[in-house]
Amino acid sequence: MYNARAYSAAGPAAPLAGATIPRRDPMDHDVQIEILFCGICHSDLHSVRNEWSEFTATVYPIVPGHEIAGRVTNAGSAVTKFKPGDLAAVGCLVDSDRTCPRCQAGLENFCPNLTLTFNSPDKYLGGVTYGGYSESIVVDERFALRVPPNLALAGTAPLLCAGITTYSPMRRNAVGKGKKVGIVGLGGLGHMGVKFARAMGAHVVVFTTSPHKKEDALRVGADEVVVSRNADEMKKRVNSFDFILDCVSADHDINAYLTLLGMNGNLTIVGAPAKPLSVYAFALIFGNRSFSGSNIGGLPETQEMLDFCGAHNITADVEVIAIQQVNEAYERLLKSDVKYRFSIDMASLKS
Ligand code: NAP
Ligand code: ZN
């Protein structure tokens, strides 16, 4: 075991502050990664503030962060995928039982015994796992991803959650040429959704509550932008979408989007507001529409997504910040004021 510098929160109302956390010494199949960048996901904020307590209560102190990109500094004797000096990335999972049917199918994200990157029971050290707001992390190589060398690392880190969470449901719903796709909420997830839908060849419509984001939405790849508070603009698009991805972090009217779906259209929700949403049955009944959810993605698909990003030169649009700015960044995230992901330059942890 060794000590690593990190940023943690002591309680739901406490600010994040410098701390020291234990990490395990690398075992035979482990890689030790120096974390260079870590994205700030809205899930970090939900967890730090214990907003999902009914689903999963936060254990304090919490070290959040599951959008990790860095460099391998140490590889165990049985490691085959990496050598010291290689780039590597870690997302929302650091372990699973590896034997259940879901793990065997590459769907480790649905393993009943999965270990999340933070706030999950730590099989090795006891207590809970600590995430990426830290100078280093140790994981089994199965849970570390290869990073395409052409991608800038600060914008690559957010792919590990915002990227895979939007890529996976689009693949499952055959997003591509000839499909009309809606993306609700232009935040970290939403802007990645726009980039993927565009790269897959779909016609992309962004729904935003922030009129000032219109130009950015077009720049990242939208064909049309609708300010969702404009009832006339919404009405014009009723019954017209094949697929809609809802990336909103707060309470909102889901029926306004369900009615935009055409026959057999699907709305997949990835945003995880704390409060339950109310669904109007007729919004689904008319048109055989469906409403589903999606949870990040398994490791093979996460690697596929990174390789897709390498081939299409896709990274997140990031505002790079120092770790000392993290509390201010959380307040801005709550105001939907980030273009479009904060990425923490972890070198700042040393200053
Ligand atoms: P984010 O960057 O804060 O983006 C959320 C966006 O939602 C905002 O930019 C805003 O877009 C819109 N929004 C915020 N408040 C709203 C309100 N009151 N009404 C309507 N729209 C509102 O957050 P994120 O990191 O992309 O995460 C989004 C959600 O996905 C979070 O709940 C997060 O926990 C969840 N998540 C789920 C998974 C999964 O596996 N399912 C993975 C990662 C994250 P506009 O300004 O354009 O309206
Ligand atoms: Zn996330």
Residues sharing a CB contact under 8 Å with residue 160, sequence separation 6 or more, in sequence order: 39, 66, 67, 68, 69, 89, 90, 91, 92, 145, 302
Three-state secondary structure call for residue 47: helix
Between the CA of 228 and the centroid of ligand 1 the distance, in Å, is 15
- What does the block give as tokens for 138? 């140790």
Neighbours of ion ligand 2 (CB under 5 A): 41, 43, 161
CA dist 309 and 147 (Å) reads 10
Q: What is the pLDDT of residue 351?
A: 86
Q: What is the pLDDT of residue 297?
A: 98
Q: Tell which atom from ligand 1 comes closest to the C-alpha of 296.
A: 40
CA dist 189 and 324 (Å) reads 24
**Tens of pLDDT along the chain (351 residues)?**
999 999 999 999 999 999 999 999 999 999 999 999 999 999 999 999 999 998 899 999 999 999 999 999 999 999 999 999 999 999 999 999 999 999 999 999 999 999 999 999 999 999 999 999 999 999 999 999 999 999 999 999 999 999 999 999 999 999 999 999 999 999 999 999 999 999 999 999 999 999 999 999 999 999 999 999 999 999 999 999 999 999 999 999 999 999 999 999 999 999 999 999 999 999 999 999 999 999 999 999 999 999 999 999 999 999 999 999 999 999 999 999 999 999 999 999 998
Q: What is the pLDDT of residue 311?
A: 98
CA dist 203 and 187 (Å) reads 19
DSSP calls for 99-165: -SHHHHTT-GGG-TT-EESSSSB-TTTSSB---SSBSEEEEEGGG-B---TTS-HHHHGGGGTHHHH
Between the CA of 14 and the centroid of ligand 1 the distance, in Å, is 22
Q: What is the pLDDT of residue 64?
A: 98
Q: Whose CA is nearest to atom 4 of ligand 1?
A: 187
Query: Using N-to-C axis directions, what is the helix angle for 188-199 and 162-172, rounded to 10°?
Result: 40
Residue 10 per-residue DSSP state: S
Backbone angles phi, psi at 226, to 5 degrees: -120, 125
Q: For the chain, how many residues are written?
A: 351
Q: What is the pLDDT of residue 79?
A: 98
Q: Whose CA is nearest to atom 27 of ligand 1?
A: 42
Q: What is the pLDDT of residue 15?
A: 98
* Number of C-beta neighbours around residue 295 at 10 A: 15
Between the CA of 87 and the centroid of ligand 2 the distance, in Å, is 20
CA dist 179 and 194 (Å) reads 13
